[in-house]
Amino acid sequence: MNSQAPVMTEQETPSVGQPYTRNEQACHDLSIRVRDLNLWYSKNQALKNLSIDLFQKNVTALIGPSGCGKSTFLRCLNRMNDLIPSVRTEGLVEMDGLDINAQKMDEIALRRRVGMVFQKPNPFPKSIFENIAYAPRMHDMVSRKVDQDELVERALRDAGLWNEVKDKLQEPGTSLSGGQQQRLCIARAIAVQPDVILMDEPTSALDPISTATIEDLMDKLKEQFTIVTVTHNMQQAARVADYTAFFHLGEIIEYNDTKVMFSTPAKKKTEDYISGRYG
Ligand SMILES: Nc1ncnc2c1ncn2[C@@H]1O[C@H](COP(=O)(O)OP(=O)(O)OP(=O)(O)O)[C@@H](O)[C@H]1O
């Protein structure tokens, strides 16, 4: 747990729409700063006045009932919503102090800094090796073959997959099991050394053992990366997340240290949701 990020008491928890800022001391740990973020799909407003600070080298879980805007919010952090023609956004998303929606922010550079892992493992239809090596080559991170080999090994080791695949790097990524494919996708995401990894229900298509492996991995990866993950699994949020944000109908109802939120939620809606009364 990051000791500099303070825990909010019920009295300190801001009301909906107010910024979830922390004290000055915590500012240098800030990774992503979101202020007054609104998003519409045509006329349907999916995100309402979100303001939240996300902290470096922590896992933040986004929880809430289906359709409350978790994935939409996640996609605001790497501008993936730009690909949807009906989307209109207002508000500020800053990463390390830079407005990611500014004209001069290069989308390709942004996607290098913010990796994404999806619900369903989606390896490229290429070899295990190429799944990892492709993006670093595109970003000119490696030129010599030896550097590329090293980078692939490091990413696979960091994703906890090296020992299982080191003797079959030329086999297709799609030949691996579902859990291994998801770790391959994580290795692919970290190969370009991003600052942030977004995960959209990364274990919901996996069996319990593969799920536990990915959860352990998240715990290790947060030493190097900031992780923001969407999950429907309350136990998973409680196990992996340092911070949890509870979304409801496009708003952030509560955001706090996970242990505090799960033991003493400040809002009745949060309590009802985490105790399984709805959702
Ligand atoms: N591409 C889209 N076009 C139009 N509306 C969309 C689109 N994607 C999501 N929405 C709408 O935006 C709202 C929020 O959806 P979103 O998928 O972000 O919620 P969620 O909390 O991630 O849901 P789930 O937990 O079911 O994945 C919903 O009303 C949804 O119908």
State the pairing for strand pair 98-99/114-117. unpaired
Residue with the smallest CA separation from ligand 1 atom 3 is 41
Helix axes 128-138, 145-158, angle to 10 degrees: 120
Ligand 1 binding pocket includes 229 (Cβ within 6 Å):
no
In a domain, 4, yes or no: no
In a domain, 12, yes or no: no
| pLDDT of 168 | 98
Ligand 1 binding pocket includes 42 (Cβ within 6 Å):
no
Q: Has residue 25 got a pLDDT over 60?
A: no
Q: Has residue 60 got a pLDDT over 70?
A: yes
In a domain, 7, yes or no: no
Chain segment 64-111, per-residue pLDDT in tens: 999 999 999 999 999 999 999 999 999 999 998 899 999 888 888 898
Query: Hey, how many other C-beta atoms are within 10 angstroms of the C-beta on 66?
Result: 7
In a domain, 9, yes or no: no
Residue with the smallest CA separation from ligand 1 atom 30 is 67
* Ligand 1 atom nearest to CA at 250: 14
In a domain, 257, yes or no: yes
Chain segment 110-169, per-residue pLDDT in tens: 989 999 999 999 999 999 999 999 999 988 898 888 899 999 999 999 999 999 999 999
Residue 166 DSSP symbol: T
Q: Has residue 192 got a pLDDT over 80?
A: yes
| pLDDT of 143 | 82
Q: Report the predicted TM-score, pTM, of the whole model to 2 decimal places.
A: 0.90
For residues 279 and 262, give the distance between their C-alpha atoms in angstroms, rounded to a whole number: 16
Ligand 1 binding pocket includes 41 (Cβ within 6 Å):
yes
Q: How confident is the model at residue 279 (pLDDT cuts 50, 70, 90)?
A: low
Q: Which domain holds residue 40?
A: 24-274
Could you give the 3-state DSSP secondary structure of residue 77?
coil
| Long-range contacts from 135-141, C-beta under 8 angstroms, 24+ separation | 135/188, 135/191, 135/192, 136/191, 136/192, 139/112, 139/192, 141/192, 141/193
For residues 183 and 177, give the distance between their C-alpha atoms in angstroms, rounded to a whole number: 10
Ligand 1 binding pocket includes 162 (Cβ within 6 Å):
no
In a domain, 138, yes or no: yes
The CATH code of the domain that includes 225 is 3.40.50.300
Q: How confident is the model at residue 34 (pLDDT cuts 50, 70, 90)?
A: very high
Number of domains comprising the chain: 1
The complex's ipTM works out to 0.98
Ligand 1 binding pocket includes 76 (Cβ within 6 Å):
no
Expressed in angstroms and rounded, the spacing between residue 226 Cα and the centre of ligand 1 is: 24
In a domain, 253, yes or no: yes
In a domain, 11, yes or no: no
